[in-house]
Structure 1
Amino acid sequence: MSTNELVIRLAEDARDLAAVFVIRGAVFVAEQEVPIEEEWDDRDPVADQFLALLDGVPVGTVRLVDQGAADGGTGGVSGLLGRLAVLPEGRGSGTGAALVRAVEERARERGFSSVELHAQTHALGFYERLGYTAHGEEFLDAGIPHLHMVRRLD
């Protein structure tokens, strides 16, 4: 019997990271047809990778990247939320919102004053409900329309 217990935590070991990449592969590569060579990048090893478990089963993931460090600096004041993916069995359970809130909490711990993201345009309403604001021009990433979004944490 399902209890719908949702746990969000940082990926802790190789098994967790494998689950992260399986989820991203299922959602982005298989479902959305993102080329596999565009899905994994050099930010993955330096990112905080989160894993969502619903009743103990991995169903979602997201990552947080220190934008300054990822761009060759020593660290920044802004984190980049990315690669938010929830498997069909986790959708509608609050998993996506819980993953975003976990990233925001971690960003605060790391001293970031804001979280930025590149939202697929069909997901704008989801992020707006969580306090994010779109800015700039629409752009394509892996052939999918996106907009820049940001949320101040102070």
Structure 2
Amino acid sequence: MSEIHVRIASWQDDNAVLRQIRENVFINEQSVPPELEWDAEDADAIHFLAYEGDYPIGTARLLPDGHIGRVSVLKDWRGLHVGDAILHRAIAEAERIGLKRQMLSAQVHATPFYERLGFKVVSGEYLDAGIPHVDMVRDSH
């Protein structure tokens, strides 16, 4: 396996690949309705793209208020710490621009992953696009 690297992406320049990854994960695999996946916040978000070599395999976005979301890794690369690399890059960028608190809405099955990265559950369970979620928060030191 090649080295995994994560870079900041442009919603305009990298739109096709960002959409392809999210469409594969959320719309095709998890049956999230397209109208819930695509929103106006993408234009103002900082996007991240993970690669194995030159192949794009994962993405996430950071909103101006510190919300990290749309964390998605293509099926064949799950369990290989791609999500860790994406989240570390997103957290580092949030801290670099002064967002001391990062927040996210996590699918319940993924809460242990986020807890390992310092996030804590701060809500009860709720449904988002028919999938159980909880709100989580991480405060930088």
How would you bin the TM-score normalised by the shorter chain? over 0.9
Residue aligning to 1:72: none
What TM-score, normalized to structure 2?
0.95
Amino acid at match of 1:22: Q
Deviation readout 1:58-90 (Å, 9 max, x if unpaired): 0000000012xxxxxxxxxxx000000000122
CA RMSD of aligned residues (A): 1.2
Amino acid at match of 1:93: L
Q: 2:22 aligns with which of 13, 21, 24?
A: 24
Residue aligning to 1:139: 126
Amino acid at match of 1:92: G
Amino acid at match of 1:50: F
Amino acid at match of 2:38: W
Amino acid at match of 1:89: D
Greater alpha carbon shift after TM alignment, 141-150 vs 88-97: 88-97
Residue aligning to 2:94: 107
> Kindly, what percent of the aligned residue pairs are identical?
43
Give me the whole-angstrom Cα distance separating, in 2, the residues matched to 1:96 and 1:55: 16
Aligned length: 141
Q: Which runs of 4+ in 1 moved over 4 A?
A: none
Contact 2:11 2:47 in 1 (8 A): no
Contact 1:120 1:147 in 2 (8 A): yes
What TM-score, normalized to structure 1?
0.87
CA apart distance, 1:150: 0.6
Give me the whole-angstrom Cα distance separating, in 1, the residues matched to 2:104 and 2:50: 19
CA apart distance, 1:11: 0.9
